[in-house]
Amino acid sequence: MAFETSCDETSVAVIRDGVVVANGVASQVRLHAEYGGVVPELATREHLRNLPVVAAAALETAGLHPSDIDAVAATLGPGLPQALMIGLRSAQALAFSLGRPFLGVHHHEAHLYSPWIAGEPPRADFGAFEPNVSLIASGGHTMLVHVEGELRHRVLGATLDDAAGECFDKVAKLLGLSYPGGPLVDRLAAEGDPGAFEFPRPMLRDPGHDFSFSGLKTSVRYFLERNPGIASDPQRLRDLCASVQSSIVDVLVGKLVGAARALGVRCVTASGGVTCNRGFRSQLARTASLAGLAVRLAQPSLCTDNAAMVGVLAERRFLRGCSTPIDEEIRPGWALGEVQSHAAA
Ligand code: KG4
Ligand code: ZN
């Protein structure tokens, strides 16, 4: 049984032999919408309120009693400290009371394996695993990781400022759209002209693997100052969404495919809320196919934060005999690069 409460999703999953038999998610997106971003105190209160309900529902869906659980996992970090605490302490209390092992998981490491969970019900497909370059793009993070083997990975680069999702959300706000703006931009962009306006593609030609999105947001702000009222015209708004989305997607796809080529890797994978974006998914499929690369995308329900990916990873570790001390603490600023040493410790 796995718990994920690192940000604004309260999620509990039950995994049996690699199959996701339950994956309940209580999203707080609507609650935070009126504040234009995640409010940590509200997130904590909601996790506390929702976690028992989501956990009971997950057990019911799985047809299990708590005593049937072999091990309990939770996200240790990175994330909002108080939010992480709710999931971690709940998981530890359950593991302790059942006398079962506890496993602490790195949130981004779980994201790396979510593209390998597929089907209905979702099932871990590690038999098909190939070394890959993985993009994690969400509201809080944007990074490229070389996944050399199962549980073996190396961070190649990350954003130097805003995350890709943050850029979608901030641009959407400038355009007068509500939070979170990413899905709205995606919807409007589908009926817009991506060539209507020219915005920068920051660091796309840079040979390194880092990203930067704050300049793109600033250039949209200057454009709107020079063209007041343009976003009130429905078709111009669609064109603006399509043009900005095209810049972000060009950078994400270009960097992901470029890194795979530079490393001689034959597969690219992606997860995180931004990778739900339809423009991203179709452009990645086209570009990767031209480059002779296989693509594995997390299915949309597993792109955003969920406990299924935490549970699938924890089960792999559990089967290798790993566990985490029952009194382990949250790790709000935990870097993915530190995971191996943590696992070995
Ligand atoms: O992974 P996620 O649910 O949560 C974290 O940030 O951890 O990602 C949420 C982010 C938000 O910034 C949201 O605007 C963006 O992902 N997002 C999208 C789309 N769906 C979610 N961005 C672009 N297109 C989408 N379809
Ligand atoms: Zn995430």
Name the amino acid, one letter, at 166.
Answer: E
Q: pLDDT tier at 340 (50, 70, 90 boundaries)?
A: low
Atom of ligand 1 nearest to the CA of 169: 14
Return the axis-axis angle of helices 40-62 and 81-98, rounded to nearest 10°.
30
Q: How many angstroms is it from 111 CA to the middle of ligand 2? A: 7
Per-residue pLDDT at 344: 45
In the block, tokens 């971690």 appear at 88
Average pLDDT, the chain: 96
Of 4, 27, 138, best ligand 1 pocket probe by most atoms within 8 Å of the beta carbon: 138
Nearest CA to ligand 1 atom 21: 273
Average pLDDT over residues 204-225: 97
130-298 CATH pick, 3.40.50.40, 3.40.50.150, 3.40.50.2300, 3.30.420.40: 3.30.420.40
Nearest CA to ligand 1 atom 24: 277
- Which residues 6+ apart lie within 8 Å of 219 measured at CB? 199, 200
Reduce the DSSP state of residue 70 to 3 states and report it: coil
End-to-end CA distance of the chain: 23
C-alpha closest to that of 116 among 80, 84, 153, 66: 153
Average pLDDT over residues 195-203: 98
Per-residue pLDDT at 238: 98
- The model's pLDDT over 251-286, given as tens digits with 9 standing for 90+, comes to 999 999 999 999 999 999 999 999 999 999 999 999
Q: How many angstroms is it from 327 CA to the middle of ligand 1? A: 32
Atom of ligand 1 nearest to the CA of 139: 6
Average pLDDT over residues 83-101: 98
- The model's pLDDT over 113-154, given as tens digits with 9 standing for 90+, comes to 999 999 999 999 999 999 999 999 999 999 999 999 988 999
Burial of 2 (0-12, 13-18, 19+ CB in 10 A): buried
Q: pLDDT tier at 345 (50, 70, 90 boundaries)?
A: very low
The answer to whether the CB of 215 falls within 8 A of the CB of 203 is no
Q: How many angstroms is it from 37 CA to the middle of ligand 2? A: 15
Residues within 5 A (CB) of ion ligand 2: 138, 305
- The model's pLDDT over 55-83, given as tens digits with 9 standing for 90+, comes to 999 999 999 999 999 999 999 999 999 99
Q: How many angstroms is it from 300 CA to the middle of ligand 1? A: 11
pTM above 0.85, yes or no: yes
- The model's pLDDT over 152-197, given as tens digits with 9 standing for 90+, comes to 999 999 999 999 999 999 999 999 999 999 999 999 999 999 999 9
C-alpha closest to that of 259 among 110, 163, 128, 143: 143
Q: Residue 64 gets which letter from DSSP? A: -
Considering every ligand atom shown, identify the ligand nearest to the alpha carbon of residue 303 and give its number: 1
The ranges of the chain annotated as CATH 3.30.420.40 are 2-122+302-343, 130-298
CATH code of domain 2-122+302-343: 3.30.420.40
Per-residue pLDDT at 122: 97
Q: Ligand 1: which residues within 6 Å by Cβ?
A: 7, 138-140, 165, 168-169, 180-183, 186, 272-274, 276-277, 304-305
Q: How many angstroms is it from 112 CA to the middle of ligand 2? A: 10
Name the amino acid, one letter, at 49.
Answer: R
Average pLDDT over residues 96-109: 98
Residue 2 to residue 220: CA distance in whole angstroms: 41
Of 8, 184, 217, 304, best ligand 1 pocket probe by most atoms within 8 Å of the beta carbon: 304
Per-residue pLDDT at 77: 98
Considering every ligand atom shown, identify the ligand nearest to the alpha carbon of residue 185 and give its number: 1
Considering every ligand atom shown, identify the ligand nearest to the alpha carbon of residue 163 and give its number: 1
Calculate what percentage of the chain has a pLDDT beyond 90.
Answer: 96
Q: How many angstroms is it from 142 CA to the middle of ligand 1? A: 11
E strands, the chain, are 2-4, 9-16, 19-27, 72-77, 102-106, 117-118, 123-124, 132-137, 142-149, 152-158, 267-271, 294-297
